Structure 1
């Protein structure tokens, strides 16, 4: 008879396809089975954990041991929200725990389900920011259209007036009107954002980053040290090369401007690429994504500005238009990805996650 944790059991086959991290323990709280999501979360393989006490993973095992013992004794499930557990590896995990007892052939087993609490917070935060940004973008686009319509009339009237004026001195005023109308039209076009859908083709993310590095190097010269920290195993994926160059160029230029305005004597911009497995973007779970970080050691972004930097027309610089990062988010969303920023004095980190699955997946 097949038992709960036998290799051919239906339970194990189901657990293998679960996104939630699941660990199965025997009545003595010794690990009998873990699924792949738990291996990723705990940074341990099943082979390393089988036959070991589950509480041995934690720096303070007494609390875990007491929790598991209460489930065994009372035969009732226990749920713990946002518990912070220090691992033996020194990593701090904030988890939602559910421990459930299961009887199988007169033997008790414990099923431990673990969901990183910061993951659900991040997903909710990202959803909220995207919704707010999209609302702001619609408002700005409506305003931009209202501005653009009379601009054409103003420019046309100035051209007609210029043809009627007798002197070059008077025509200079109409040239100013035409020039300023053109400047406003360009600004409005930028406010309206990109209407071009991505032209997807197979690309290597490091070719995109190398192009950005070359452009930033040409602009910055020796004023900034550019560091590559790439994961060469990241596979090719479908994306629009021109749009992704624009994404990382806008981010890198923001970093360059921040460093230029600071007193930082050893200015550094680091480009880092990694793969992340089982990552959720806007309620959709992706098997594997590319994580691209752009990190600078500038003065940082003020906390009250940090949550608003992706909104249109919001800028932390007096000379900024607040359109660059809004465009970044728009283009990343067109690639089904996400962008976020963390900042403190001495370090600003922009992170872009891009799914590596094909469009059909």
Structure 2
């Protein structure tokens, strides 16, 4: 290897962009450390392997690579879905550049992961919608509570002037309904109390909720625990976090009441840690990831983007406040909640920082 070749190799090895070199038969000739990290494979051990042995994509993409070799025509593909050998799915952009070397065509692939950027964009939209909704609810609550107070006061004054005790049943209806609406508005607004933070084991929170769900379901729901015992304590308000997780699990339990009798409802609770994870504009060195997964019928596609809005519910008797309150609590803890759903599997994922302060701000 010449000095110039060694310099070129050094430059490729230090690129942060995942770079892969394939021969004309689409077999691996080289991948830099960034590509090894992205695909979770060793470039040295994988040398000579066919591209589909490194990751899988659509047959159309494989044909496009073959055409790039035959026609020496570069192309770029946006938001492609790749699956690594470990089964991890990822969204990437990649550029393919044919290189002619001594009559042989090589393919240079530059792969840019998009998952983090797409997630940050989605999260920003979620936070913006959450703040807009909160302002709307506050304004609406103000407009509702003022006339409710007047109605309740007028009903109380009228009750004192009624000549017949039996007529008080009607004023009692007015007073009780005014109180019910006021309580509903208060629940929509959520608690104004600041979290009382203390170092807490997240598994204590999950176990407390499991005990409540087991009592409510009376054995009709199977609870599966998949905990990582190495997760350190988290700085949270224990009671508020119990309420957030309980709201999510109670929704799952109620959704599974429609399952056929021969199919047992199941909720899986999984805890893991994730390194270098971005929440909002802040990158955290370490976060706790809590998954709550049920095998219910799933959330209707038309509701999936709005399930955290107040008064949005997939059940006729639902208030639509449980998930909204859960999101508000988790946001107060500088965390984030996500949801993915399809028939037979709905997963709510909670991310909570495991350090008190931010480590860095994500550049835009």
TM-score (norm 1): 0.78
Which structure 2 residues correspond to residues 188-199 of structure 1 after superposition, within 5 A? Answer: 188-199=185-196
Aligned pairs for 1:132-211 within 5 A: 132-211=129-208
Give the paired residue count: 340
Q: Distance in 2 between matches of 1:67 and 1:200?
A: 59
**Partner deviation per Cα, 1:69-112 (whole Å, 9 max, x = no partner):** 99xx99xx986432344544555543123689xxxxxxxxx997
In 1, distance between residues paired with 2:168 and 2:283? Answer: 61
Partners of 2:41 and 2:247 in 1: how far apart? 38
Matches within 5 A, 1:245-264: 245-264=242-261
The two structures, once aligned, show a CA RMSD in angstroms of: 3.7
Structure 2 residue aligned with 1:285: 283
Structure 1 distance, partners of 2:81, 2:121, is: 20
1:311 aligned partner: 309
2:248 is aligned with 1:276? no
SS of residue matched to 1:315:
coil
Q: For residues 16-165 of structure 1, what are the structure 2 equivalents within 5 Å?
A: 22=18, 30-31=29-30, 34=33, 40-44=37-41, 57-58=54-55, 80-89=77-86, 91-97=88-94, 114-165=111-162
Measure the CA separation in 2 of the matches of 1:260 and 1:284: 39
Contact 1:228/1:272 (<8 A) preserved: yes
Shift in alpha-carbon separation, 1:88–1:253, aligned structure 2, 3 A: closer
Partner of residue 322 from structure 2, selected from 313, 321, 324: 324
Find the counterpart in structure 2 of residue 106 from structure 1.
none
**Which region of structure 1 is more displaced relative to structure 2, 154-163 or 186-195?**
154-163
Counterpart-to-counterpart distance in 1, 2:276 and 2:41: 16
More displaced stretch, 61-70 vs 328-337: 61-70
- 1:178, 1:325 → 2: CA distance? 29
Say if 1:297 and 1:32 are closer, same or farther in 2 by CA, change over 3 A.
Answer: closer
State the alpha-carbon separation in 1 of the partners of residues 275 and 45 from structure 2: 20
Q: Show the counterpart of 1:300.
A: 298
Tell me the alpha carbon deviations over residues 213-254 of structure 1, each in whole angstroms, 9 at most, x when there is no partner.
111111111111111111112222222212211111000000
Report the equivalent of 1:104: none
Question: Aligned pair in 2 of structure 1 residues 187, 90: CA closer, same or farther (>3 Å)?
Answer: closer
User: Deviation of residue 195 (structure 1)?
Assistant: 2.1
Structure 1 residue ranges without an equivalent (≥5): 101-109
Q: 1:84 to 1:152 in 2, by over 3 A?
A: closer
Alignment correspondent of 1:103: none
Residues 328-337 or 277-286, more deviating = 277-286
CA distance in 2, matches of 1:54, 1:289: 36
Long gaps (5+) in structure 2: 98-106, 360-364
CA distance in 1, matches of 2:205, 2:43: 37
Greater Cα offset, 187-196 or 54-63: 54-63
- For residue 302 of structure 1, report the CA deviation from its aligned partner: 1.1
Distance 2:62 2:170 in 1: 81
- Give how far 1:264 is off: 4.7
Deviation of 1:360 after TM superposition, in Å, equals 5.3
Contact 1:22 1:114 in 2 (8 A): yes
Distance 1:282 1:79, change over 3 A: farther
Question: Is the CA contact (8 Å cut-off) linking 2:259 and 2:265 kept in structure 1?
Answer: no
Conserved in 2, the CA contact under 8 Å of 1:151 and 1:181?
yes
Q: Deviations over 1:17-55 (max 9, x none)?
A: x7xx645889997557525xx555322468867x78795
What does residue 224 of structure 2 align with? 227
**8 Å contact kept, 2:276–2:283:** yes
